[in-house]
Chains A and B, each alone.
Chain A
Amino acid sequence: AQKVTQAQTEISVVEKEDVTLDCVYETRDTTYYLFWYKQPPSGELVFLIRRNSFDEQNEISGRYSWNFQKSTSSFNFTITASQVVDSAVYFCALLNNAGNMLTFGGGTRLMVKP
């Protein structure tokens, strides 16, 4: 069985602060895929990033960056200079090698205050 843990259920920051959302996963597959989704108050799950298990390069997209560390089974997400519009629930998810099981973490609610 596979599992995704997002230990932080809720984080509150003030605008312009940097914030890191943690994600730790468990799987027996040697090939797998990791995702981050953003769910704003409107409810839609917005795809942010996909990472396969063989690619440990960190990725940066604007104010967003992701740190994948296979040795610690972690895939952390950092928002630099946070903005009020970043307020949302963020889900980390793990897709198995067969591609038929997407397991979500419990989500982290991020509140960015002006």
Chain B
Amino acid sequence: DAMVIQNPRYQVTQFGKPVTLSCSQTLNHNVMYWYQQKSSQAPKLLFHYYDKDFNNEADTPDNFQSRRPNTSFCFLDIRSPGLGDAAMYLCATREGLTDTQYFGPGTRLTVL
């Protein structure tokens, strides 16, 4: 089935140790998003790509970077994770006709 895939589902890293989360899609959607969701909160948009055009939200910390090498893959790099970066990270794609966003299962990041 066409879908949004995130690996790994659970990631543990140490304070200050760089970590990369990955997302892939088989939907062939040209827009991809990264959201951060902390416990009992709504998802917060970090950035998105429209094709290869990168769009950073104004309040996304510099510690967060993203790469999109091709249509199917998108990566979230956290250069120096802090304890406050522990969260669920959700990847989504957007379907062009209806603008509906489809989400992956998320990666739950723990920072020790």
Q: Do A and B bind each other?
A: yes
Q: Kindly provide the distance from the CB of B27 to the nearest chain A CB, expressed in whole angstroms.
A: 12
Contact A106 B43 (CB under 8 A): no
> Which residues of A have CB within 8 Å of B108?
43
How many chain B residues sit at the interface, stated as a range, is 20 to 34
Contact A45 B103 (CB under 8 A): yes
- Number of A residues with CB within 8 Å of any CB on chain B: 19
Query: Is A63 interfacial (CB-CB < 8 Å)?
Result: no
**Which segment of B11-19, B61-69, B75-83, B94-102 sits at the interface?**
B94-102
**Which of B45, B55, B106 sits near A43, CB closer than 8 Å?**
B106
Q: A33-B99, A95-B99, A99-B99 are in contact. Are A43 and B42 (CB under 8 A)?
A: no
Query: Is B90 interfacial (CB-CB < 8 Å)?
Result: yes
Which residues in chain A, 17-73, are within 8 Å of chain B measured between CB atoms? 33, 35, 37, 42-47, 50
Cα(A43)–Cα(B103), bound, Å: 10
Interface residues of B (CB under 8 A from A): 40-43, 45, 55, 88, 90, 92, 94, 98-106, 108
Interface CB pairs A-B, < 8 A, 27: A33-B99, A35-B100, A35-B101, A42-B105, A43-B90, A44-B103, A44-B104, A44-B105, A44-B106, A45-B43, A45-B90, A47-B100, A47-B101, A47-B103, A50-B99, A91-B42, A91-B43, A95-B99, A99-B94, A99-B99, A100-B55, A102-B45, A102-B101, A106-B41, A106-B42, A107-B40, A107-B42
